[in-house]
């Protein structure tokens, strides 16, 4: 009897392991499709994965990135936020949420005719559609990312860029220096361009 229980346990473990391997393989195919610019194919992979494993935070993140490419901003925000809520200790998810908000700000400035009210759902009721709100909101997410991962050079770099957009040069220089200290590849050049010393 003991051997039968052991065999059944081993069988369940093998089945679970092979199921996890299949999920990982599908996820990797979705990411590869996204990186090749085939966003529709990537989204199909991610949708299939979410049907099988609805608590897979990384899949929500990548689905959100696909939706952002389709300019489905509210759905993208909801997907990326879901990733953050499912795994709130993963700094890269908070970074991506901040980057999403920063992108909304840029889009609303550079392409207002395309954006329209593209990020209105992010604003508190009654707030006017201003890019500065998105920059400030992005900064909060970048700060959460570096709280979780103090060596996240890209988050410091993006904080510097957001502070520049808010005309907060001193704060930008501090964040860019942190990115330089962490060996971010673009931070030194950008810091030299905007910082007085």
18 pLDDT band, cuts 50/70/90, is confident
- CA of 171: how far to CAs of 21, 46, 162, 163, 193, in Å? 45, 38, 10, 6, 15
The domains of the chain are located at 19-87, 94-197
Return d(Cα 146, Cα 154) in angstroms, integer: 9
What pLDDT score does 196 carry? 86
What pLDDT score does 117 carry? 62
Contact indicator for 76, 104 with CB cutoff of 8 Å: no
Return d(Cα 37, Cα 19) in angstroms, integer: 27
Q: Is the pLDDT of residue 15 over 60?
A: no
Instruction: Tell me the percentage of the chain whose pLDDT exceeds 70.
Output: 81
Average pLDDT on 57-78 reads: 93
Q: Is the pLDDT of residue 7 over 50?
A: no
70 pLDDT band, cuts 50/70/90, is very high
pLDDT digit string (tens) for 127-175?
A: 555 778 889 999 999 999 999 999 999 999 999 999 999 999 999 999 9
What's the CATH number for 19-87? 1.25.40.10
21 pLDDT band, cuts 50/70/90, is confident
CATH topology agreement for domains 19-87 and 94-197? yes
What pLDDT score does 19 carry? 73
Into which CATH architecture does domain 94-197 fall? Alpha Horseshoe (1.25)
What pLDDT score does 111 carry? 66
Please state, rounded to an integer, the average pLDDT across all residues of the chain.
85
40 pLDDT band, cuts 50/70/90, is very high
Contact indicator for 129, 118 with CB cutoff of 8 Å: no
């Amino acid at each position: 009897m003991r051997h039968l229980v052991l065999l059944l346990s081993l069988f369940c473990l093998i089945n679970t392991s092979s199921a996890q391997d299949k999920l990982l393989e599908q996820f990797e195919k979705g990411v590869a499709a996204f990186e090749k610019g085939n966003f529709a194919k990537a989204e199909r992979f991610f949708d299939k994965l979410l049907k099988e494993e609805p608590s897979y935070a990384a899949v929500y993140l990548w689905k959100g990135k696909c939706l952002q490419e389709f300019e489905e901003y509210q759905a993208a925000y909801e997907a990326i936020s879901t990733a953050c809520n499912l795994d709130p200790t993963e700094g890269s998810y908070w970074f991506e949420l901040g980057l999403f908000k920063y992108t909304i700000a840029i889009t609303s400035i550079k392409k207002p005719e395309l954006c329209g009210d593209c990020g209105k759902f992010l604003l508190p009721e009654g707030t006017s559609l201003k890019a500065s709100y998105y920059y400030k909101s992005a900064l909060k997410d970048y700060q959460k990312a570096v709280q979780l991962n103090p060596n996240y050079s890209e988050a410091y770099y993006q904080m510097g860029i957001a502070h520049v957009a808010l005309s907060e040069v001193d704060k930008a220089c501090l964040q860019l220096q942190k990115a330089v200290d962490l060996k971010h590849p673009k931070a030194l050049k950008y810091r030299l361009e905007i910082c007085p010393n």
